[in-house]
Structure 1
Amino acid sequence: MSQEVLGVIMLIVMVLAILLGFPTAFTLMGLGVIFGFIGAGPLVFELLVQRTYGVMTNDVLLAIPLFIFMGYIIERAGILDDLFRSIQLVMGPIRGSLAIATLLTCTIFATATGIVGAAVTLMGLLALPAMLRANYEVKFSTGIVAAGGTLGILIPPSVLLILYGATAGVSVPKLYAGAFIPGLLLSLSYLIYLLVRVYTNPNLGPALPKEERTVPLPKLLRMLATSFLPITVLILSVLGAILFGVATPTEAAAVGAIGGLVLAAFHRQLTFQNLKESVYLSMRSSAMVCWLFIGSSIFAAVFALLGGSSAIEQFVTGLGLPPTLFLIVVLIIIFLLGWPLEWTEIIVIFMPIFLPLLDRFDIDPLMFGILNALNLQTSFLSPPVAMSAFYLKGVAPKHITINQIFAGMYPYMALQLAVMLLVMIFPNLVYFLPNLLFE
């Protein structure tokens, strides 16, 4: 049996093992060692050590636990409760004010943490009951929570983009700059859709009753000053430091983590329990990502050593696809992979398979990364799996069915696809800021 065939068999076994529910990171490491030993002998153990050490010394990955910690400590400090309430009061006279407050809160929280599950769950507990009490239509309410919670995949400081940058060797600040306009464009498209729906059908999202939004101006200003202003300043400081080259992503993430602690202390929520939970959840998420990165690094190295990458490259190039069609095919494959797999698994396992083909098809890794961030957002809203819907179902009232949540998400899925198409047609939406800041 040739080494190329052995590499392809290893890839097939890996996909089957993951779909059967085997632990992804250890499956990757195990298959890498077993097939590597069969194909290359004891050399695979030296490769195992080198790859593990390489991941442990990757400075870019240090930003991941720090950004995750910033998100968790802000969440547990109760800052988002005050933020949601203050935006809700400001938007009170407008139809759909609760939905708009939900979207804006999701957008701000997305810049504090890229964890979809945390964002959807938190807003499902915070915003969904408020909208239902205000007689908002169920599908309309669940749709904005499920879709808004996925914005953290794309909007900086996205953990996905950090991991993609480390995998593809692309500058994380450039990825952040490239994602900024598409992320805001996506959020803006959600807002326009909400306003069109509520002003064409007032029953979907009525304005807040006057008695509920009547708050003295000094009190409202104080609420904004203690909720919206501090978290906005923190986020803009972190992103500004990265985009203007003042600090590396890791240094900016450290500042963000400290800023999260300061905000928690300011809100008198910096308790030992909150700190312990935030550290535990951050370490658990970070450990999962790093073990996946180690496993995928070993797997990818053995796969390339056996010639599997060359076999796939020869097969794909033999199809004679034009670059645009190749890109569309890859996006469809990754979209389908987003049903059974988490985005972390897709980035660290399957991206290394496609990345070597980008040069041959003259596709920029920066554009490829932004398109796939949008693509993975779409897969979070796509039945039958649609992880965002199941996160929300776990905290929604029992009378809300999964099919109602699915129905509410469809329009946002269409908007995501529309923004992805816009980015492909007008690439300057991605390149404008990177060219302005880094050229």
Structure 2
Amino acid sequence: MEFFVFCSLLQFLNLQWKSRGFPPGPTPFPIIGSIWWINFRADHGSLKKLAKTYGNICTLWMGHRPVVVLYGFQAVKNGLTNNSEDVSGRLQTFIFNKMADGKGILVSNGLIWKQQRHFGIGTLRKLGMGNKGMERGIQTEARYLVEFFRDKKGEAVDPSFPIVHAVSNVICAVVFGHRFSLEDKTFRQLIEAFNHIVAFGNSYFYYICEVFPWFVEHLPGPTKNVPNSTFDEDNMVQSVFDLFLGGSETTATTLRWALLYMLVYPDIQDKVQKELDAVLSPSHLICYEDRKKLPYTNAVIHEILRFSSIVLITLPREAVKDTTVLGYHVPKGTLIMANVDSALFDPGYWETPHQFNPGHFLDKGGNFVTREAFLAFSAGHRVCLGETIAKMELFIMFCSLLQKFKFTVPEGVKEINTDIIFGSTMKPHPYKLCAVLR
């Protein structure tokens, strides 16, 4: 017992010594570090409290590993873009290694990451990203989505799976070469698997697994010694996984929030539809270029991205060499966790950060304007490579739906739940709506 106490004391003192020079933060303890301070969960309240207590750049310890946390627009932007290449690594943790073994795009590093990202971007461009080829695929899925709601003839329906289906089929056409039907059982299993992965990614269990990996190794389950695991076959398979996850889940979640907000703010829905009617004919096939003629609608879509803030924190980055972050010396191997949500709600850069306000993206003349604090797709070397596709999908599908339907709350529903379901992405609670032909 005395030996255990002595070793714990040595570890404690060692942690205090190691923490010198890092940004301030909660006192780290042996084994558990200081992640206990946020209750093993990086959510809105705990990160805001952390920043209020220790400042916009502070340090948490995941076991014996330092994690520098960035909060607020200026800290997030400067922390990810100043010396951007120095902090472009991706953490190689127990869970990430189990999932991807350092391959693919999302959680790879070094030469593998550079080559796979370059190949991924090049392939997407060849297959139509940002041009008419990709646009036609999105328009096709928008048409199927419109047909789904038209067939329901105004009855109350949960839009979640049809939206996921439509958005996912855009990337399916790229990586698999064909689209899936709504009734396809394999496709439904695939979506369910992705949902489980996303839910796990910011859960209590995830952090416990990272802090106590030796415990997880002894749990029963399919995580060990799987010779034919698709995650271990090659970088191509892992890259397909990454593209599917990044190219479907986030956009579909945002579109679900978009329709929910149209129920909550019917006056904004009405303004969007008036602009669509004034600028486009009823038979016009929505294209991405139309955004230049639809400033209010474009502003609404950007406000949906800001206000829903579905990615609370970026996937942690890693310092690939000794560097400086906001004046602090950060040794190689330090993790960088950027709270993107805090930039999107920073009161120093948004007039009414906690209100849904399309005016955030409009000047006094009603023209669309970009905002520097709009970091919905992150920043620096690891900025989302699917940003162009996501914006095209959101614009074309959102406009196609509002061009054809008025979305209303089902009869008898007195209150709309806008709370989030917490996970790797912030999802809305399941809801139903009525799509009434205009």
Q: Select the structure with the greater relative contact order (CA < 8 A; seq sep ≥ 6).
A: 1
Tell me if both proteins adopt one fold, taking TM over 0.5 as the criterion: no
